[in-house]
């Protein structure tokens, strides 16, 4: 990216919590923590001090299908960034005492997530959507599932998860291609592939979860089965989601908040996995009006699916999505992360121009077709966390979607 004085480096692994069986639930996230406790010739403090000494920052994240490590730094820091990230994924120390200590840290993270209603309600919905599958278990795991993790077991899991044939290195910003390729060969090119952790096909199960807690607001999540990451109709789903609940001009924001005062926060979202996905709605509402809000959410989905968007709605959604593409192009971190993810999914990067063209090509008829598929599945996953008076919101949503 000409004119920049910084770089963004992403090492992304095609692996995460989805690959775990129940006995290893949370191990991918635990491993991501542990590699920062020591790698190569570096201790935990050395890792961050070396990066920050050159004005950089380092972070990582574990998802269901991807684990990523990121460095942001000044121009000229690429050799250091590549060395540090290579050591993290291939040469972590995994000291036994650090493993036990980090289990306690993750236990606090699990407790924090439970104590945060608008986090925990998503875990509840995910469990209902994909019951019995890796996608249906919390990324953090549980205290019980983390307990057996020792150095030998975690080292074996690292080798299976962080195999180089499942890995992409992406760099954006003030970088020269020749230097990058030489460093990639030096730090990543010698690693041998290992038998990799696999994952079984997922299916959307659906169901209803309720948890009564003495808090002021009901937290609601409603999910429908949707498209996977490779589905060519994904741009249509993105437009559908934006029109439904993507911003202040969206249908849900206008009808639920502006017209009826049912919610302060409400939005629609979609999550895509390798073979399927979900369309979801999250809202926070007064308990006594939660069923009314659930009914309204279902009604808006059904109306958009049946009638399609107006010309104005479709034009707005296309403008918002395209603006997001171009804005992300101006951020080195967004570019490196996006290109790594695209290469893992599609085998090669996808240009923003191609993505924008696909968005612009979609019609109202395309949205109706995808919307009717969403509405016709007959399955949903709902989660309600809050006062007991909100307990019927999930059923209200499911019944309205089923036409009852």
Q: How far apart are CA 142 and CA 27, in angstroms?
A: 10
Does the active-site annotation cover 32? yes
The active-site residue out of 20, 22, 32, 258 is 32
Torsion of CA 73, 76, 79, 85, to 10 degrees: 10
Contacts of residue 394, Cβ cutoff 8 Å, sequence gap at least 6: 208, 209, 210, 220, 222, 294, 382, 383, 384
The DSSP call for residue 92 is B
Q: Helix, strand or coil for residue 1?
A: coil
* Kind and range of the H or E run holding 328: helix 311-329
Burial class (CB in 10 A: 0-12, 13-18, 19+), 15: buried
For every residue of 262-275, DSSP letters joined together read: -EEEEEEEEEE-SS
CA 1 to chain centre: 26
Q: 294 and 400 in contact (C-beta within 8 Å)?
A: yes
Q: How far apart are CA 255 and CA 139, in angstroms?
A: 34
Alpha-helical runs (H) found in 115-250: 117-129, 143-146, 151-161, 177-188, 234-245
CA quadruple 325, 274, 222, 284: dihedral positive or negative? negative
* Kind and range of the H or E run holding 331: none
* Positions marked active-site: 32
């Amino acid at each position: 990216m000409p004119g920049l004085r910084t770089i963004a480096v992403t090492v992304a692994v095609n692996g995460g919590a989805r690959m775990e069986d129940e006995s290893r639930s949370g191990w991918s996230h635990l491993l991501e923590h542990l590699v920062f406790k020591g790698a190569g010739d570096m201790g935990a403090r050395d890792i961050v001090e070396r990066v920050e000494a050159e004005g950089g920052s380092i972070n990582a994240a574990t998802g269901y299908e991807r684990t990523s490590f990121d460095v942001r730094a000044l121009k000229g820091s690429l050799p250091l960034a590549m060395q540090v990230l290579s050591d993290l994924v291939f040469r972590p120390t995994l000291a036994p005492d650090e493993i036990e200590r980090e289990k306690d840290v993750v236990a606090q993270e699990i407790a924090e997530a439970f104590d945060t209603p608008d986090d925990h309600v998503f875990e509840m919905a995910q469990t209902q959507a994909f019951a019995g599958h890796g996608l249906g278990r919390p990324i953090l795991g549980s205290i019980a599932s983390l307990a057996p993790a020792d150095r030998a077991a975690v080292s074996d899991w690292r080798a299976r998860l962080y195999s180089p044939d499942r890995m992409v290195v992406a760099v954006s910003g003030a970088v020269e291609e020749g230097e990058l390729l030489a460093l990639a060969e030096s730090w990543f090119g010698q690693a041998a592939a290992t038998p990799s952790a696999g994952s079984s096909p997922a299916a959307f199960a659906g169901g209803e979860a309720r948890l009564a807690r003495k808090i002021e607001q009901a937290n609601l999540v409603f999910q429908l089965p949707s498209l996977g990451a490779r589905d060519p109709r994904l741009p249509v789903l993105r437009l559908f989601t934006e029109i439904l609940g993507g911003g202040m001009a969206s249908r849900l924001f206008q009808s639920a908040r502006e017209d009826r005062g049912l919610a302060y926060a409400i939005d629609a979202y979609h999550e895509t996995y390798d073979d399927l996905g979900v369309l979801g709605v999250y809202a926070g509402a007064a308990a006594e009006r939660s069923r009314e809000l659930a009914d309204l959410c279902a009604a808006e989905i059904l109306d958009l699916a049946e009638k399609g968007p107006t010309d104005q709605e479709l034009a707005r959604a296309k403008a918002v999505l395209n603006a997001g593409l171009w804005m992300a192009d101006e951020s080195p971190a967004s570019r490196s992360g996006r290109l790594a993810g695209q290469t893992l999914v599609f085998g090669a990067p996808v240009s923003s121009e191609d993505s924008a063209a696909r968005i612009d090509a979609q019609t109202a008829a395309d949205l109706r077709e995808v919307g009717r598929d969403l509405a016709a599945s007959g399955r949903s996953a709902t989660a309600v966390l809050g006062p007991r008076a909100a307990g019927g919101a999930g059923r209200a949503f499911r019944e309205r979607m089923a036409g009852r």
